[in-house]
Structure 1
Amino acid sequence: VITEYASSFLQLDADRYWLTQFHGDWAHEVQIKETELTAGIKILDSKLGTRADFYQSPMFFVSLNEKSTETSGDLIAGTLAWTGNFRFQFEIDQRNSLHISSGMNPYASEYTLEPGKPFNTPEFIFTYSHEGKGTASRNLHQWARSYAVLDGNKPRLTLLNNWEATHTAFNET
């Protein structure tokens, strides 16, 4: 029986760490919260199943040594290639190293693995930037266009998301 589902484990060493997380709901999407991580454990998670990105978004930035801006600072940006329950755990140990584990949320997720059958955890996608959050974000977008989105580097037919104004009466002309 599998009860824990870590996809990755990173250890970072810096003097200080700042976590940027994103949360929200309809009409207040992508609210940004930035806090300094201190000794102990901080968990970002969702237990909402396939609606996992509601309220708590499955992505983060961790700035190293000082707060990062859009154009400056050392940081890691991370997310999961997964749309279900997730958990990111951040723990600073007694040596001031930051341990980041990520993966499926184990809440109500026991799984019996049959002998000889494989089980794959979701991929953890991350990037490092020493040029701020903008570069990290663009790195993740480029990864998604190149590896996750079908024909992601080709032009799109729809320029804008216009459904609220025109509903289904919208086409390329």
Structure 2
Amino acid sequence: MIQGKTIAFLVAPEGIEQVELTEPWEAVRQAGGTPKLISTKGGRVQALNHLDKADTFPVDATVDEVSAADFDGLVLPGGVANPDYLRTRPAAVEFAKAFFEAGKPVASICHAPWTLVEADVVRGRTLTSWPSVRTDLRNAGATWVDQEVVVCTAGPNTLVSSRMPDDLKAFCQAALEAFGG
């Protein structure tokens, strides 16, 4: 399905919702793709199970060491702290925005669209997210819907979005389809 493709997973140094990282990561791996963990700092990142510390994961590269040209797609895991941190880091925002400029697929779950709002890439697009992000998306010019998964092709790239961990099965399937082209 995505054999030979490399997918970036952009995360903050801490605050990533673990299951929103690990399930899409494993889906990419099982589909023959190569997932790469990208962050704003090297070393290890700290994931959470909601608000409790969970596992740590090794960073493959920082946003300063790579570009969207190095990847075939992008996954933005959620968690509240993760995208809130990323949207305040210009290099992370520019990295995410570059996937849109290059027409490459992006998959975003839970609170992750905050990074896309900051990148100004949701105007005219239809997305879903965690309910508290709804107003931010609407204010940024997006149409927000309450659905398990949304696949929006009304722009330069395919944008896959889901609301929460309960939607991960549908999210992973739609993301793999988008990454497969």
Q: Please give the TM-score of this superposition, normalised by the length of structure 2.
A: 0.26
Q: With CA pairs under 8 Å and 6+ residues apart, which has the higher RCO, 1 or 2? A: 1
* Larger Rg over CA atoms: 1
Give 1 or 2: higher strand fraction: 1
More helix by share: 2
